[in-house]
Structure 1
Amino acid sequence: MPADADTASPHPMSDSPTRNGAWVVLEVLKRHRVETVFGYPGGAIMPLYDAMAQDAAPIRHILTRHEQGAAFAANGHARASGRLGVCIATSGPGATNLITAVADAHMDSIPLLVITGQVPTGLLGTDAFQETDVLGLTLPITKHSYLVRHVDELEAVLEEAIHLAQEGRPGPVWVDIPKDVQLAPAQLSSGSALGHRTSGEAETPDEAALARALDLLGAARRPVIYAGGGVALGHGVAAFRDFVARTGAPVVTTLKGVGLLPPDDPLNLGMLGMHGAPCANRAVQASDLLLVVGARFDDRATGRLAAFAPDARVIHLDVDAAEMAKLRAPEVALVGDLNQWLPRLALPLSIDDWRERCARSRRTEGFRLPPERPEGGFPALRFLDALSRRAGDQTYVACDVGQHQMWVAQYYGFHHPRRHLTSGGLGAMGFGLPAAIGAQLAHPDARVINVSGDGSFMMNVQELATLGRYGLPVKIVLFDNQYLGMVRQQQELFYEGRLSSVDLSDNPDFVQVARAFGIPARRFEGADAMEAAIRACLETPGPLLLHLPIEREQNVWPIVGPGMSNDQMIQEDVA
């Protein structure tokens, strides 16, 4: 593996690092067992990089080629590991370049610590070089944002930020540190004076609410469990699976809940919503009880909310009380740790007829592969299906955003939600490659695949340099239809076929682009190339880009149109 060029130095490490604010930052990170950070240096954060250069046992720093890449990589590292991700940037454009990836972490509740440099405190508010109001910019996209004005506050702020990022419903926390605070002499406290503000006292179990929930479960004849990303975020996958097995209720999941049940589990009806399985949407629409676990009634899952599960009562379980009745008022709200609630709700249900009805629907209206078309382009859906069966259930797949993202959710069989890294709430193009880099660094021995589209891939293509610098064996599966495919599909369906600014027929030669960055690349065309592409993806050592041209007009099916209910799915006309 190549040397970490960004941490190498022609000068010997100092035996006595300067004990200043920057040193405090590193010591607090080490205290919390942070081993890897992602970043890009600049003037206002230079004292922190100087502290890293003096550190005899430095935290590993991964130099990305854009600050957005650093934050997405930290985001992917956190998603894949379940631990805190950390990214670092300078003031001004360094900070603003982080914002998209931090907003993504906020929408998907990913624990992230964001550290930025700021101009010296004496220059705050003077429009100094590379000054931006980071506090004002970031409050809406973080759990909390801090501007540290004195070095004596720094240790406590960092401790509180790390705690807050991981407490309850996780999320990003931003700490903005002026340059003079980083340079000021400092000492660490003994720890006795450090405390944490919390979001509130631990929830006391509501026995009356539990009793009402058990009554509703017992009376239900057509119950459906609607589960989302909060299950994995709450480290509750095992408890959830045990609960499903005990109750025997059919399960639908959100995009971030894909993998909560193995793909072959007979109770797994698949993903619901805009591009969900017809069997999942029909079960929800026909249900008389929804048990919502770690989900938030997102519009992409519900379609027209007023028509969503119209005959169902709702039991809503979530760690975040703010989600209760935000979009739909539940009959019973259970706030707290699902690992405590689910075992107490595990009531065996007498719903044999309903289970069989859902099983029949799963067989006939689950995600089904289209007929083989030897004359067509590369068979993207068949490739994903076959790849998932041969790659093994420990493989991590980081998606970008677009048609390929939905195809992965529909046809790649995930065995755990942490193996499926996808930008859910924000839908940020450019997420996939840096997230895959973060996942690979979190799990060096695991297989990591980035599935991307030609539009998304160009958003953070510069991170091929990061891939090459650190010798990471990430495989990039690049579906190329020379379109912004998802936008093109919606323009065709809902804008009377008027295509506007979606043509990407002037794409570069992606094989040559990858090779220019030192990344091996191969192009596979047509149905006959699928087996060779799978072997290349699974057997090639080191990184590899697979360029897979697909049919330009291939669509994602089914689709629920804007303002429509989930039982008004538009499906492919195969006549």
Structure 2
Amino acid sequence: MIDGPPNTPFDGAPGASPAREVTGAQILCEALIREGVAVLFGIPGGCIMPFYHALWEYRSQLRHVLVRHEQGGGHAAEGYARATGRVGVCIGTSGPGATNLVTPIADAWMDGTPLVAITGQVPSHLLGTDAFQETDITGITVPITKHNYLVTRAADIPRVVREAFHIAQTGRPGPVLIDITKDAQQERCVPDWDVRMDLPGYRPASRRADFAAVQAIEAAVGALLNARRPLVLAGNGVMQANASHALRRFAERTGMPVVTTLHGLGAMPHDHPLMLGMPGMHGWVHVNRAIQQCDVLFNIGSRFDDRVTGKVSAFAPHARVIHVDIDAAEIGKLVTAHIGILGDARDVLETITPRISVQPERFAPWRAEIAALKAAFAPRQHYRRSERTAPLMPQDVFAAFNAVADTRRDWRVVTDVGQHQMWAAQLIDWQRARSHITSGGAGTMGFAVPAALGAAIADPAHTVWAFCGDGGFQMTACELATIRQEGLGNVKVAVVNNGYLGMVRQWQQLFEGRRYSETPLSGPDFALLAQAHGWHAITVDDVADAEAAIREAWAHHGPVLIDFRVEREANVFPMVPAGRAIHDMVHDEAHHDQQLRERQRRESPMGDSRVAPRTAWRTPHTTEQA
């Protein structure tokens, strides 16, 4: 082993047993290396300080990124995990350091992102005494982790770390928390690396098909062979299983059309003739109507989120539902599964595809019917410019991005949460798996900038674009400093700036009589803010300058922020109002006003069909943006 100071790292390759006692903090560093960890995102503090003391000696093997806020560290670890498929790791101290990680842990829980969060805790003898910065973080995170640990002995660290990484990345991926007391980090022992995992009750679906899965697959094959109007719904499970190629082979062999959820974007190229688009609350009309008319719905790796289904009782009313999921709890949880298959998406697709012997042209009439729906509803017509709009519309930003990005393959996009997120999902030409990263289930504003940081470190060969609204951007803008500190020239931030909390304002306009309560949003000059952090910055307020700005940002060898000052009251359409079936969509503002008049006419005894006049905010953006 080693002869030297207590914090000298272990000699030799991972797996070699040391010959002498070392600290729990050293053991933790070595355990992380043995799990293949290369990057950590975190902030030091009192109760995690022994780990950081040991980390200094491992800095050639473990790259630590000093973020400006623990929430940013957690989202950066998520971005790293989503870009690579590997476990992301974030670090925090006890008390507020740990609680600041709760939001990214919850985000990872909702979106099935493999994450290990490591927190320091007060010494064992102070547990339960309300000591300085003591917080029961294991108790807090029980509902939002796959498992969590409170470690009070250095000897337990090798087993706990091994188990944590196994749990985080097997079955449906998700977050695991390891809370380690300060004295366990300081305690010295001879680590035992030949430990066995002790996980009673944890039995994730294996790659080996059991009898029940074989029977279910046979039933699914029969249902698909007898279908006349089949539809494939691909979700995040396709991404997690690296099954995009398997999905494409299945679709091309069978001729069955495919729709993808928000997290499934990129699983099929957007311009593939069998790719229809995204369903749900802000999906396309023809996609939602295809779901409502299909006779077999083959769901691969989607959990039937309410933003996809709308009113569940009215979802896919004519369909025999086949649900493939790695998590048994998801099958039949929200939508009745006539056939449930527990398994990995790629394994199931690769098993089923050779057994489907149909001519792809068999479904040509069904595809033609969907194409007619698409032509009739002209899915992008509601984004045509009108005379009253500002010189730059949100769709202009994404059209300009496509004009540049379509000539390249070296990019990923991370989006924040809100209107811009839906515009990006609808309008960007998604071509590849894992090119789209967003916060879906939790809908976490502030996700994009730190997640882009993590993705950029994971994939330095690609340019990572973070699309944000002005509201979400201001929540984690402090991580601009981290990106500059790390020398990440491959991060570009595009702020779709409308001076509002845009999605909330849209709902207030459409459903709350235009009472814009606490949604007008002030902010600094974002270009000056970025420049203060050492970034190159551009301000754009006219469509004529949008594409040139994106080209300039892409060509600049360093981080760039573009402040796109867009029309303030542009809305995302189509949309399904809350509580309605997905075929009952609002196509545009005129359609909404018509529906409102009809509803008022039905509900008012006087037949009053008045609708409040629509106002257009044309106020120029200023530093106040009032």
CA distance in 2, matches of 1:261, 1:201: 25
Q: Does 1:515 align with 2:511?
A: no
CA distance in 1, matches of 2:204, 2:414: 34
Q: Is 1:402–1:486's contact at 8 Å kept on the other side of the alignment?
A: yes
Which residue is equivalent to 2:37? 34
Q: Is 1:250–1:358's contact at 8 Å kept on the other side of the alignment?
A: no
1:344-365 C-alpha deviation (Å, 9 max, x unpaired): 3222362221011123333444
Shift of 1:475: 0.6
- Which deviates further from its counterpart, 299-308 or 369-378? 369-378
Q: Does 1:359 align with 2:371?
A: yes
CA distance in 2, matches of 1:244, 1:175: 42
1:307-363 C-alpha deviation (Å, 9 max, x unpaired): 111111101111111111111221110111222221332223622210111233334
- Which deviates further from its counterpart, 132-141 or 358-367? 358-367
CA distance in 1, matches of 2:59, 2:99: 31
Q: Is 1:230–1:294's contact at 8 Å kept on the other side of the alignment?
A: yes
Q: Is 1:105–1:172's contact at 8 Å kept on the other side of the alignment?
A: yes
CA distance in 2, matches of 1:455, 1:367: 27
CA distance in 1, matches of 2:22, 2:386: 66
CA distance in 2, matches of 1:394, 1:337: 28
Equivalent in 410, 417, 421 of residue 433 of structure 2: 417
Which residue is equivalent to 2:16? none
CA distance in 1, matches of 2:454, 2:239: 18
Q: Does 1:235 align with 2:211?
A: no
CA distance in 1, matches of 2:392, 2:279: 27
1:139-181 C-alpha deviation (Å, 9 max, x unpaired): 1111111101222211101100011100111000000000000
Q: Is 2:158–2:195's contact at 8 Å kept on the other side of the alignment?
A: no
- Which deviates further from its counterpart, 281-290 or 346-355? 346-355
Equivalent in 117, 120, 125 of residue 122 of structure 1: 125
Which residue is equivalent to 1:329? 336
Q: Does 1:479 align with 2:496?
A: yes
Change over 3 Å in CA distance of 1:389–1:364 after alignment to 2 = farther
Which residue is equivalent to 2:98? 95
Which residue is equivalent to 1:544? 560
Which residue is equivalent to 1:8? none
Shift of 1:200: 4.8
Change over 3 Å in CA distance of 1:117–1:483 after alignment to 2 = same
CA distance in 2, matches of 1:522, 1:152: 54
Change over 3 Å in CA distance of 1:386–1:126 after alignment to 2 = same
Change over 3 Å in CA distance of 1:20–1:359 after alignment to 2 = same
Which residue is equivalent to 1:560? 576
1:49-91 C-alpha deviation (Å, 9 max, x unpaired): 0001133634000000000000000000000111110000000
CA distance in 1, matches of 2:276, 2:568: 30
CA distance in 1, matches of 2:271, 2:218: 33
Which residue is equivalent to 1:381? 395
Equivalent in 497, 503, 507 of residue 490 of structure 1: 507
1:94-149 C-alpha deviation (Å, 9 max, x unpaired): 00001001100000000001000000010000000000011110111111111012
Equivalent in 222, 238, 251 of residue 258 of structure 2: 251
| One-letter identity of the residue aligned with 1:396 | R
Q: Does 1:446 align with 2:462?
A: yes
Secondary structure of the equivalent of 1:444? coil
Which residue is equivalent to 1:315? 322
| One-letter identity of the residue aligned with 1:519 | W
Equivalent in 370, 384, 395 of residue 371 of structure 1: 384
1:226-271 C-alpha deviation (Å, 9 max, x unpaired): 1111111112111111111111111111110111110101111101
Q: Is 2:205–2:327's contact at 8 Å kept on the other side of the alignment?
A: no
Q: Does 1:185 align with 2:182?
A: no
Change over 3 Å in CA distance of 1:201–1:555 after alignment to 2 = closer
Which residues of 2 match residues 257-268 of structure 1 at below 5 A? 257-268=264-275
Q: Is 1:378–1:527's contact at 8 Å kept on the other side of the alignment?
A: yes
- Which deviates further from its counterpart, 235-244 or 107-116? 235-244
Q: Is 2:6–2:22's contact at 8 Å kept on the other side of the alignment?
A: no
Which residue is equivalent to 1:404? 420
Which residue is equivalent to 1:9? none
CA distance in 1, matches of 2:196, 2:421: 47
Which residue is equivalent to 1:5? none
Which residue is equivalent to 2:60? 57
CA distance in 2, matches of 1:521, 1:105: 31
Secondary structure of the equivalent of 1:472? coil
TM-score (norm 1): 0.94
CA distance in 2, matches of 1:298, 1:81: 24
- Which deviates further from its counterpart, 557-566 or 213-222? 213-222
| One-letter identity of the residue aligned with 1:528 | A
Change over 3 Å in CA distance of 1:248–1:386 after alignment to 2 = farther
CA RMSD in angstroms, aligned pairs only: 1.9
CA distance in 2, matches of 1:528, 1:53: 50
Shift of 1:373: 5.5
| One-letter identity of the residue aligned with 1:371 | R
Which residue is equivalent to 2:165? 162
Equivalent in 422, 426, 434 of residue 450 of structure 2: 434
Secondary structure of the equivalent of 2:101? helix
Instruction: Name structure 2 gaps, 5 residues minimum.
Output: 11-20, 592-626
| One-letter identity of the residue aligned with 1:92 | G
Q: Does 1:72 align with 2:75?
A: yes
Change over 3 Å in CA distance of 1:561–1:408 after alignment to 2 = same
CA distance in 2, matches of 1:173, 1:16: 26
| One-letter identity of the residue aligned with 2:111 | D
Change over 3 Å in CA distance of 1:366–1:138 after alignment to 2 = farther
- Which deviates further from its counterpart, 255-264 or 531-540? 531-540
Query: Greater RCO between the two (CA within 8 Å, min separation 6)?
Result: 1
Q: Is 1:452–1:478's contact at 8 Å kept on the other side of the alignment?
A: yes
| One-letter identity of the residue aligned with 2:384 | P
Q: Is 1:377–1:549's contact at 8 Å kept on the other side of the alignment?
A: no
Secondary structure of the equivalent of 1:564? coil
Count of residue pairs the alignment pairs up:
563
CA distance in 2, matches of 1:150, 1:249: 55
Which residue is equivalent to 2:588? 572
Which residues of 2 match residues 206-221 of structure 1 at below 5 A? 206-221=213-228
CA distance in 2, matches of 1:14, 1:102: 30
CA distance in 1, matches of 2:205, 2:419: 43
CA distance in 2, matches of 1:106, 1:14: 35
TM-score (norm 2): 0.87
